[in-house]
Chain A
Amino acid sequence: MSNDSPSLISRLWSSVEFKLILSWLVVVIATALLDTNHTYFNAPGESAQLILRRTVLLGFFALGSAIIIISGGIDLSSGSVIAMSATVFGSLMIVLDPQGFKDGSVSTTAVILSIAGTLLVGAMIGTLHAWLITGVGLPPFVATLATLVGLRSFSRGLTPTVTMGKSQIDFPDDKLREALKDVTSITIAFVLFAILLWFLMSRTVIGRHLTAMGGNEHAAKLSGIRTDRLKWLAYVIGAVSASIVGIITFADDGSAKPDIMARGYELNAIAGSVIGGCSLQGGIGTIPGTVLGCLFLRTVIDSVTKIVGAGADVFEGMIVGIVVVLAVTFSQRGGSKLSDKKYFANEIGWSVIPPLGILSGLSFLLFFGKREWYAPYQAFLFGFVVIAALAVRAVLESRSKNTSGPS
């Protein structure tokens, strides 16, 4: 092996994976210290289980999304594919073993066939995506936008048809439910799935070709790579991974409500991939990075829930938004120091300072408004502190303009 590159340590140090592990540790330690209920100390097993379950449920289809992103595409449909798969899984069980479904004990054959059928439906959705993109020639964004909207609606139509008029399918079998949502087994399944995809992407010809296609599709085709087939593979992996999550989520939630189930999850999957180092331009990204990106994202969400108190669902979107912006900002800055970059030194930069201050003050109110120690002046004060800090930064940045150049 000729390894005349920078030393292993410096390569490790600059890798996304390493930075994510460090940031993750920081978040965990900060939560352990700042959480007034000391949940991480009092119930470490429970806390770990919670985070793990959420990470696995996000990670499965985020990995699918990551492969599509690395290969130069995008999949907006995963939330709807999850809802559709849960619906299809439930419907298949009803159709294959109607009596067992009513009695709360579905036969093993019916369960296995239903799972296989659901995964097959996932593969069919992936095939549909690939055809819309390669055959019809739609941009991936449009093709998967169509199925994002369409498949959820389809599932809502399917549900009353198989349930005789109900708008949701309840999970029929408690034993099966416990088995499917068991955190140990789904974690093991996820780890195996991740290892499989990791090998696919980093150690096989197909993985290299997928990455190459994401980097330069024209060049890939002219290198004799069958890009259409690769796209099919990527979108099938994406949709099937969402189907797996659909089956587990059905068990986890106890019912499949196609109108609200997994709504907006596709963006979490894209967020997890991007935090994990995937470039939306394609050609860049890794499987371990995406796994860590999802773990980091779920841990931050958990951490905010612990520190702030209830309302995790409400603030989840805010947290995802902030984490994505920060993660990409930090990874984009490359080798240059944070202090060298100018964020606020123009008209747009100045104008964003007041909204950022107001948002910060209001967030303070939302997070801590119900605490005993809270008084309204604190939210105002916090907002003003943010504005003042950013203004100082803006002034420093504009000053440094004159002295920039050779340093």
Chain B
Amino acid sequence: MSVIGNTALRFGEEPAMLMDVARDFCSDQGMEAARAGLETPLAHTAAQWDAIVAMGWTGIGIDEASGGAGLSVAAAVPVVESMGRVLMGAPLIPTLLAAQLLRRCGGDAAEAVLNAIAAGAPATVAELESEDWNAAVTTRLDSAGLLRGGKRMVCDAQSARYFVVTVAGEDGPAVAVVDIEALGAGALKPRVLIDNTRRAADVDFDGIRPLAVFSGIRVAAALRDHRLLGALLVAAESAGAAASCLDTIVAYLKTRKQFGKLIGSYQALKHPSVEILNAVDAARSFVFHAATLVDDGSLSRDAEIACRMAKAQASEALSFAGDRAIQFHGGMGFTWDCDAQLFLRRAQWAQQQFGDAAEHRARLAELLIDHRDTASTT
């Protein structure tokens, strides 16, 4: 069996139309919207979120019976890629991931929350407890059914109506749903992030009674899928950011003159720009390959490989593009007003979400080298 394995990549008319709409909406917002959000509490405006809800994007991945759009979560890939292009701060990724985790945990108790999310209630998944994405979960439920513990750097906690909280249950992992109304004053402690187009806060859940708790074998599988889908959506967003970072570089190289020549004519700048292009191309190929393999069911081995490769590639592409963007802009690149810094900062945030490139390559080594025999034949 080949370690290259599955290379399916399809993109039909429906996702292409969705991508057109998303690209138009996002380019109308532009980088100006991201800049306007930099020093605001939520990094986005109510009007932006209302538009996103009106377009039905919060219903992606939610069944029509639960008020959703009846589209697979894969449909979110072109949308979040487009949002990444303008570093939009709206909390769509955490909201979509919270919905995915809930519907994959299943049960009637999830219905009401899924309906609310589809209708536009922002949500997020509270999972991290330290700097270590692989550390064991210690947040738990006490004998009275109250949560004990807190979570760290919860993405867009400041916007969230619902928190889906990972919990160490008696017999394996569990997930609890918390309504913002249940949290006391001061439960949210906003963090200062390197990426100021983004928001995250620590959340103290101690003594809080959840709306619902899910446990059992479906939860373990749902959590695994959640981490992979998280990696994929952040990868898609990063690929979009890297693509637009490249555009920013190219535009500058075509207009800035030094020593009497356009700086884009120098090979020292041309060749790394081509390297960025190749890295972005690879990232986009993996992202849409993964979107081809991901659906509403449990993620296959091929889909897992695709999501991990997408994240590893997109994280490195954006880090590289952002880093070179500063350098190639020269003195201008060292200023606050140059967009290069926004891309570079986003790269530092995004690379850590759902595991960095090295982490995904380590898991890929297990899948591809240690377990070669179980490869698919597609």
A interacts with B: no
